[in-house]
Amino acid sequence: MKMRNTFLLAGTLLLLGACDESKYELDNLVPEQYHKVLYVKNSGKQQVTLYDTGEDYKYTFSILKSGSDPSLTANVDIHVLTQEELDTKYSTPEAVNYKLIGTDCYSIEATHLDFSANDRYKPVNVLLNPENIKTAIAANPSAVWVLPLQVMSESDSINSEKDELFLQITGVITPSFGFVSSAVSVKEYSYGTGVSAKVSLGLDTENSWDIDCKFEVDDAYRIAYNTKNKTIFRTLPAGTYSFPEEMTLSAGTTTTELGVTIKADQLEPGDYMLPIHIKSVSLFGISADKAVYPLAIRILGPQLVRTDWTIEANTQESNGEGAGNGVAKCALDGNLSTYWHSSWQSGTHALPHILIIDTNKSYTFTQIGLVQRQNESYTDAGAGVFYVSDDKVTWTKVGVFTMQKILAAQNFTLETPMKGRYFKVEITDSNRGLNTSLSEIYAYGL
C-alpha cells in the first residue's frame, strides 16, 4: 500500500494539537493508512566501492516506522527488482546500461521484517561478495552494476518517495599498503643538530587484519630522482640513520608511523635523501606509487655574518624604486622591505644580471640563500647560476638555482662546496621580462 500525499497527514496532525481529543477522535481525523508509514532511511541511489579482501562487505541500511501512531505493529518485505523491472524503471528512462548483480554476488540477512509496537526502526544487512562482483564487472565492464531494493507491504503504508535503495557498485579494488605521501619535501636543519622524523603509512581501507611489513633503503630511487630532476641529493652514510626494519599494522588500525632517526651531527652540510622502500607485506599488495618515502633533508652550514660584506651589480635601479632603494646594497641590509632591482627607468639591461659579493674573508661556501622581493606581483628572479672565486678573476661554477614565486627565503645547496672570498649570483632567467629583483642574499659555510 503506497502513500502519495503527505499534506493531509501534516494538516490533520496540526489540528490534533489544537483540539480536544474527546471531541475529535484519531480515526475521524487521520485516515487509517497514515497511522503508520514505513520508509527507507537514506533512500535512493547510493554508490559503493568494494575492496577485494576475501571477505564479504556488509552494507547496512534502516527501515523506519513513523506516522500519526507509530506505536502500531507493522511488517515489510524487501524486494530485489528483476532485470526487466530495472530496465523499465531505470535503464530505459536514463539511457544507462544498468545490470543486476547475480544472486551469487549478494545476500540479504532478512527480507521480511516485523515491527513491534516499540520498534521505531529496523536495520537491514546486505552482504556483497567483492570477488564475484569483480568477476561480473570484468565480464561486462561497460555495464553499470547495481542492486536495486524496494520496500513493500501488503498491510501497511509505504512512503513512495522513500521506498527504494539503489546500490551502485563503482568498482572492486584490491587493498594496497603504502606511505601516506610519496612527495619529495626537503626539510632544513642546522649543521650539528640531530634529526628525527615520523613517516605515516598504512592501508587504504578499514583494517581488520594484523599486517606485517618489512622495509629497506632503495638508493636506486635517489639516483633516478637526481637524474630526472637535476638535483644533488647525496646518500646517507651507513651508521648515520636508523629505522625499524619490520613492524606490524594491528587490526583496527588503518595508519601508523615509522620512526626515523638521523645523526645529522655526523653529516657535512648538503642535501641528503633516504629513500625508504616497503620491501614486503604479509597481506594484499604494495601501492605502486606510494611504495617509497623519499625522506629528504638539507643540512645548512652556519649562516655567515654579513657585517663586513660589500656588493656590486652590473645593473641596478638607483632612482625609480625610491630614495635608497633598488640598489645592490639593499640585498645585504637585513631589511626585507628594501630590495635590489635591475635598471628600468633609463632603459633595461639584458640578462644575465650579476651580483658579486665580497665577504672580505675566505670561507668554504655550502649554500646560498635568496629572497624574492616582498611583493607577490613582483617575484621577478627566475633561475641562474652560482660561482665562487678567491680573487674575483677566476670563477668556478658551483651550482644552479630555480626560484619559486614565494616570499620566504629559498636556500640552494652548492653542487661542490667551494672555498673562496667572493661569490657571484648570476640571474639568467626572469619571471617578468628583463626585470629582476632580490630582497636579500645570504650565504652559509664553514
The CATH number of whichever domain residue 326 belongs to comes to 2.60.120.260
Q: Are residues 214 and 257 in the same domain?
A: yes
| Domain assignment present for 19 | no
Residues 6 or more apart from 25 whose CB is under 8 A from it?
none
168 and 292 co-located in one domain: no
Q: Tell me if 212 sits within 8 A of 248, measured CB to CB.
A: yes
- 410 with 368, same domain: the answer is yes
In a domain, residue 9? The reply is no
For residue range 112-129, list pLDDT tens digits in order.
999 999 999 999 999 999
Region 355-381: what's the mean pLDDT? 97
pLDDT(12) > 90: no
How far does CA 105 lie from the centroid of its chain? 33
Percent of the chain at pLDDT exceeding 70: 92
In a domain, 229, yes or no: yes
114 and 215 housed in the same domain: no
pLDDT classification of 17: cutoffs 50, 70, 90: very low
Largest CA distance in the chain: 110
In a shared domain, residues 329 and 258 = no
HSE toward the beta carbon, residue 114, CA cutoff 13 A: 1
Q: Do residues 422 and 341 both lie within one domain?
A: yes
CB atoms closer than 10 angstroms to residue 381 = 29
pLDDT digits (tens, 9 = 90+) for 85-95: 999 999 999 99
Residue 377 lies in a domain: yes
Output the domain CATH number for residue 183: 2.60.40.1740
Distance CA 236, CA 101 (A): 54
> DSSP labels for 34-96?
GSSEEEETT-EEEEEEEE-SSSPEEEEEEEEEESS-TTS-EEEEEEEPPHHHHIIIIIHHHT-
Q: What is the pLDDT of residue 36?
A: 87
What DSSP string runs through 264-292?
A: GGGS-SEEEEEEEEEEEESSSEE-TTSSE
Question: What pLDDT was estimated at residue 35?
Answer: 79
Asked if residue 360 and residue 418 are part of one domain, the reply reads yes
Q: Coil, strand or helix: which one is 352?
A: coil
Q: Which residues form the domain of 296?
A: 176-300
Distance (Å, whole) CA 360 – CA 362: 7
Write down the pLDDT at residue 2.
Answer: 45
Closest to 174 (Cα-Cα) out of 47, 50, 48: 50
pLDDT for position 25: 53
Of the residues 137, 157, 173, the one at which a domain ends: 173
Residues 135 and 185 in one domain: no
Q: What is the rounded CA–CA span in Å between residue 227 and residue 186?
A: 17
Stretch 117-146: mean pLDDT: 96
Q: To the nearest whole percent, how much of the chain has pLDDT over 90?
A: 87
C-alpha–C-alpha distance, residues 304 and 247, integer Å: 43
Tell me which of 300, 327, 342 is where a domain ends: 300
Q: What nine digits make up the cell of 248? A: 606490524
pLDDT greater than 80 at residue 9: no
Say which amino acid occupies 62. Answer: S
Whether 255 is in a domain gets the answer: yes
Which residues neighbour 125 within 8 Å (Cβ) at sequence distance 6 or greater? 58, 59, 60, 108, 109, 110
Mean pLDDT rounded to a whole number for the chain: 92
Sorting pLDDT into bands at 50, 70 and 90, what band is 101? very high
Look at residue 340 and tell me if it is in a domain.
yes
Shared domain for 217 and 284, answered yes or no, is yes
pLDDT tens digit sequence for 412-426: 999 989 999 999 999
Which pLDDT belongs to residue 45? 96
In a domain, 147, yes or no: yes
Cβ–Cβ contacts within 10 Å for residue 148, how many?
A: 22
Q: Which three cell numbers stand for residue 12?
A: 490533520
Considering the domain boundaries, does residue 398 fall inside one?
yes
Looking at the fold, whether 436 and 357 belong to one and the same domain comes out as yes
Listed residues 173, 190, 212: the one ending a domain: 173
Residue 134 exposure: Cα atoms within 13 Å on the Cβ side: 15
What is the DSSP track for 89-146? IIIHHHT--EEEPPGGGEEES-SEEEE-TT--EEEEEEEE-HHHHHHHHHH-TTSEEE
Tell me: do 169 and 185 sit in the same domain.
no
Query: Is residue 431 over pLDDT 50?
Result: yes
Model confidence over 29-41: pLDDT tens digits?
Answer: 445 666 789 999 9
Q: Are residues 46 and 152 in the same domain?
A: yes
Number of domains within the chain: 3
Pairing of strands 353-371, 410-430: antiparallel
Q: What is the mean pLDDT of residues 142-170?
A: 96
